[in-house]
Amino acid sequence: MGSPSSLSLVLLFVLLVSLGVAVQHCHGGETSSFVRKVEKSIDMPLDSDVFRVPAGYNAPQQVHITQGDLNGRAVIVSWVTQDEPGSSEVLYGTSEKKLKFSTKGKVTHYTYYNYTSGFIHHCTLRNLKHDTKYYYKIGIGYTTRQFSFTTPPKVGPDVPYTFGLIGDLGQTYDSNQTLTHYEKNPVKGQTVLFVGDLCYADTYPNHNNVRWDTWGRFVERCTAYQPWIWTTGNHEIDFAPEIGETVPFKPFTHRYHVPYRASGSTAPFWYSIKRASAHIIVLASYSAYGKYTPQYNWLEAEFPKVNRTETPWLIVLMHSPWYNSYNYHYMEGESMRVMYEPWFVKYKVDVVFAGHVHAYERSERVSNVAYNIVNGLCMPVPDPSAPVYITIGDGGNIEGLANNMTQPQPKYSAYREASFGHATFDIKNKTHAYYAWHRNQDGYAVEADKMWFFNRFWNAKDEQSHSS
């Protein structure tokens, strides 16, 4: 018999061989054969057309809207005036020529290192009619600009509605292509679910906040006309004590208001809304989420409030993915997964959308709730009560694509591809929704990945054979 050290080596070798055999059989779904041309992501220059300042003295710019209450009968209108505060009044109505309602909002501004913002206006339009087109005018008393939006249908179980999905957008040439593809997709998204990382100003020296302004003007062509539901990502933290900036999320919280109080949240980083037949929960990967924290307590109370007979579709947005087979941001979402995944399974979440990893991936329905530090059960297993996890951090930002994947593809991964793009989630009724992902290189109607979703509460069948 050999020495203890020799025996240990033999045992280790046997273990590695047996693991190797197991790994070889642990193949997953499809890794796309499409290979995007390798190009560096470059931010569009400051004099680009998409960043143009609107003409006229003190003209409103960076106009964006989001849902302003729990049920979709209010809209928060936000914009910036650069020269002086001007008016925070919004004129609005259902006739383009006759805006018979008005309401006044509030104005704020902030400084960040050597930058001073323009005057940021937020005004909430309340008691709107469902499923109605409204026109609104801002810049009253100075240079006025007029836009429009359509309110969602009344909340109900069989209400069809189409969401767009965009994440990690930035302001590169690829970002512009992503937004254009979303706008020209024949499946018209009515509201964007945005999973975090907006402008990437923090990639510039001293977090150059001018890039918050350019991004706001860039996306205005969409954000002024349909709500974007905001999720915070790591590039919104803007915590930079080395230049004296010690308040996290300062630019984001001044510029982007959300209706967090309507769902009982105590902070704008986690909240929920109901829209058409969906209950949407927004979580914060970069705010405290451990046991007894405000976010934990809020989510624990929120899930039991979800009424699947009223809003059958339960959608969760977050920034850092829990299931990720790319060699980027490895395990970053793991502690939140361990905390919250049992709730996701218990309450049968239909789908989770995340960003952070600059690529695309769709999972099977799996869970890993059996895991604890002593039982050794640490492999995801098929679970019909679990959500599908979709990473859509492929908007096109300056940091470029994540194209280094783990090999072999794990079993939980159904489809993955390192390309920029966007997706749509088209709810048909309480039992079915059609999901499609579109890469930027294709024609506007081409679906690079697709899946019929069967609702976990009303139609909890296996969808695998219906996926791409």
**Contact residues for 206 (Cβ-Cβ < 8 A; gap 6+):** 113, 114, 115, 240, 243
d(Cα 361, Cα 384) in Å, to the nearest integer? Answer: 19
Across 283-350, the runs of DSSP E, i.e. the strands, are: 313-317
Amino acid at 47: D
Q: What secondary structure does DSSP assign to 88-156, as a single string?
A: -EEEEESSSS---EEEE-EEE--EETTEE--EEEEEEE-SPPTT-EEEEEE-TTSS-EEEEEEPPPPP-
Q: Residues 220, 51: contact at Cβ < 8 Å?
A: no
The CA-CA-CA angle for residues 279, 227, 359, to 5°, reads 80
d(Cα 341, Cα 368) in Å, to the nearest integer? Answer: 8
Structure tokens at 343: 């709730």
- What does the DSSP 8-state code read for residue 45? P
Structure tokens at 181: 């593809």
Torsion of CA 357, 358, 359, 362, to 10 degrees: 30
Annotated catalytic residue, options 235, 329, 358, 422: 329
Structure tokens at 96: 């383009």
Q: What secondary structure does DSSP assign to 337-394, as a single string?
A: HHHHHHHHHHTT--EEEE-SSSSEEEE-SEE-TT--TTT---S-EE-TTSPEEEEE--
Beta bridge partners of 228: 192
Is 329 among the catalytic positions?
Answer: yes
- According to DSSP, the β-strands at 89-93 and 133-138 are antiparallel
d(Cα 180, Cα 420) in Å, to the nearest integer? Answer: 12
d(Cα 195, Cα 38) in Å, to the nearest integer? Answer: 25
Active site residues: 329
